[in-house]
Chain A
Amino acid sequence: GESVGLHLPTLSVQEGDNSIINCAYSNSASDYFIWYKQESGKGPQFIIDIRSNMDKRQGQRVTVLLNKTVKHLSLQIAATQPGDSAVYFCAENIEDSSYKLIFGSGTRLLVRP
């Protein structure tokens, strides 16, 4: 399949370890944030979202943390599996005034068996 990103920052983790992927967002007015996973040759797949009235949200094996003070978002994946290998993007939005998602540059996650 095609490569989503050739020169992306890469995080390499051992299978079974926890992964932390970081994202700095650009607009202090953004109030809705989403993490997407993109596998080679596929479109972005929704993982988890969080609104600015929260600082933590948990899903199945994933946790998103939001620090509005420093405009930082992180995605934690517990017990990382080979199927988690992909490019991960954070996206931001200003819910009441914009419909577009603004994407970060992405991080490639490689899971070593």
Chain B
Amino acid sequence: DAGVTQSPTHLIKTRGQQVTLRCSPKSGHDTVSWYQQALGQGPQFIFQYYEEEERQRGNFPDRFSGHQFPNYSSELNVNALLLGDSALYLCASTYSGDTQYFGPGTRLTVL
């Protein structure tokens, strides 16, 4: 049984560019959340997707957007990248509000 998978593993972008990160939830899960983890800190909630809609959003600007597909996989898009967007981006999946299980993350570096 595959757990949560994310791609790519690492990504390097320059300021002003746009990036798309991808997540496949754990088998049987229908809900995907995205978190940003800066170095030395705990993960910060970006938003959660359920039934292909954004269900809850954290304190992140509109440059951060997402999408959920009918197969429950999800994308995180970040526009107009800033240096401060450099972080580990984590995807977590769950079923029916149960425990959230995390993927390995995508390390984004903005130069």
Contact = CB atoms under 8 A, between A and B. Distances in A.
Interface of A: 2-8, 34, 36, 41-46, 49, 89, 91, 95, 98-106
11 contacts: A2-B88, A4-B39, A7-B40, A34-B100, A41-B104, A44-B102, A49-B99, A95-B97, A99-B97, A101-B100, A106-B41
Contacts of B43: 44, 89, 101, 103
A99 B90 contact: no
- A interface: dominant SS: loop
Nearest to A95: B97
Given A6-B39, A7-B40, A91-B42, 5 more contacts: A5-B39, A49-B99, A100-B45, A101-B92, A103-B43
A5 B102 contact: no
A62 B101 CA distance: 18
Contacts of B45: 100-102
A-B residue pairs, 8 tightest by C-beta: A103-B42, A100-B45, A43-B102, A5-B40, A44-B102, A99-B56, A99-B48, A43-B104
Given A99-B55, A99-B56, A102-B45, A43 B103 contact: yes
Interface of B: 4, 6, 31, 33, 35, 39-45, 48, 55-56, 58, 88, 90, 92, 97, 99-105, 107
Contacts of B4: 43
B64 to A, nearest CB: 14
